[in-house]
Amino acid sequence: MTGFIQQIINGLSIGSVYALMAVGYSLVYSIMNFSNFAHGGIIMFGAYFGFFFMTLYKFPFSIAFIASGICAALMAILVERVAYKPLRDRRAPFLYFIISAMGVSIFLENIIIATIGPTFRTYPEVFSTQPIKIGNMAIGRIDLTMFIISAVFLVLLIYLIDYTKIGKAIQATSFNMKASALMGINTDFIILLVFGLGGFLAGLAGVLFGMKYTVYPQIGNITLKSFIAAVFGGLGSLQGAVIGSVLLGIIETITSGYISSQYRDLIAFVLLIFILVVRPMGLMGKVTEDKA
């Protein structure tokens, strides 16, 4: 039984970091209606920013952490300007956005391989590896930190979206961009803001991930799973992304705990197909009928 609770706790910890990434997919989807596959690349860069801030420049963890978030946010905004803005101006079909995003993702991953190299890099030890003992259970300090930090930032994000004026503007834009623009909302700014927010959280998630595991160029492949979580919860819904992420985290840790860690990734993708077939709008998504 303690084993099971242990798995749930690990699952929550991983799931909360997935959530930090998944909300980035969801935010962009809610405004621009496409899956931003470049997000994985931003997360990977976040992990590298954190790594170099801490090893090369010897920043303390907290500063390196926030700085990585900011750098990642700027990068996300840059990607938007370069790869999506021209398409937006031309009103290109959404598939062009996806392809462009894939292009960016390939570029980001491989520019790292070509310059820094494909090697795995380990973060300096920030938190002691000595776990916290509660009864029979051992909770890793990193896992606990990951959970707490992610939870704090997710709460902040949801507060920002639900209770502030700017959040209301984001919601209005996601509901109807044209009408919002007519009502005097600067939708171009909202889009930048959404990319910035998503990018910032992606940077944080990247650092947390790098700390827990290692940093390497293909880290973006792991981030695909947070995309699955976003689809699982319902693309475009923040709450859905969080719930989907936590569920996916728990499903994964239970799979690796009780079946085999070999099948952990497989389960995630099978789940993706399953959810698309059974309930494509996800757990929290809405059913819509197109108007012809």
Partner 1 sequence: MLSWYYLKGIIMLAGIYLLPVLGLSLLTGFTGLFSFGHAGFMAIGGYTTAFMMMKLKVPFIPAILIGGLFAALFSFIIGKLTLKLKGDYFCIATLGFGEAIRLLLDNIQYFGGARGWPGLPLKTTLTTVIIIDIIAVILLRNIIRSRHGRNMIAVREEELASSIIGIDTFKYKMISLVISAFYAGVGGGLLGTYLGFLQPKIFSLTRSTELTIIVIFGGLGSLTGSVVGTILLIALPEILRSFANWRLVVYGVIVVFIMIARPEGLMGGKELSFDIIRNLFRKRVKEVKAEGGK
Residue type, 222: I
Tokens of 157: 């994000």
Tokens of 28: 């962009």
Distance CA 252, CA 264 (A): 5
Q: Up-side HSE of residue 172: CA atoms within 13 Å toward CB?
A: 17
Residues in the chain: 292
Name the residue nearer to partner 1 (CB basis): 129 or 262.
Answer: 262
Distance CA 52, CA 192 (A): 26
91 burial class (0-12, 13-18, 19+ CB within 10 angstroms)? exposed
Interacting residues with partner 1 between 5 and 64 (CB under 8 A):
33-35
Q: Closest approach of Cβ 177 to partner 1, in Å?
A: 16
Rounded alpha-carbon distances, angstroms, from residue 61 to 109, 165, 274: 25, 32, 40
Interacting residues with partner 1 between 157 and 196 (CB under 8 A):
none
By CB under 8 A, name the one of 44, 64, 75, 83 that touches partner 1.
83
Name the residue nearer to partner 1 (CB basis): 19 or 271.
Answer: 271
Name the residue nearer to partner 1 (CB basis): 61 or 96.
Answer: 96
Q: Closest approach of Cβ 280 to partner 1, in Å?
A: 5
3-state secondary structure of 185: coil
Q: Closest approach of Cβ 98 to partner 1, in Å?
A: 6
Q: Which long-range contacts (CB under 8 A, 24 or more apart) does 136-142 make?
A: 136/2, 137/2, 137/5, 137/6, 137/9, 138/6, 139/6, 139/9, 140/13, 142/211, 142/212
Q: Which residue do the tokens 């171009």 mark?
A: 188
Q: Closest approach of Cβ 18 to partner 1, in Å?
A: 16
Interacting residues with partner 1 between 220 and 239 (CB under 8 A):
221, 224, 228, 231
Residue 262 as a binder of partner 1 (CB under 8 A): the answer is yes
* Binding track, positions 86-115, relative to partner 1; x by CB under 8 A: xx----x-xxx-xxx-xxxxxxxxxx-xx-
Catalogue the E-assigned strands of the chain.
132-134, 137-139
Distance CA 171, CA 169 (A): 5
Name the residue nearer to partner 1 (CB basis): 64 or 222.
Answer: 222
Interacting residues with partner 1 between 267 and 286 (CB under 8 A):
269-270, 272-273, 276-277, 280
How many residues of this chain interact with partner 1, rule: CB under 8 A?
Answer: 43
- Backbone dihedral angles phi then psi of residue 252, each to the nearest 5 degrees: -65, -50
Name the residue nearer to partner 1 (CB basis): 94 or 120.
Answer: 94
* Binding track, positions 125-164, relative to partner 1; x by CB under 8 A: ----------------------------------------
Q: Closest approach of Cβ 292 to partner 1, in Å?
A: 6
Which residues are near partner 1 by CB under 8 A? 33-35, 82-83, 86-87, 92, 94-96, 98-100, 102-111, 113-114, 221, 224, 228, 231, 262-263, 265-266, 269-270, 272-273, 276-277, 280, 290, 292
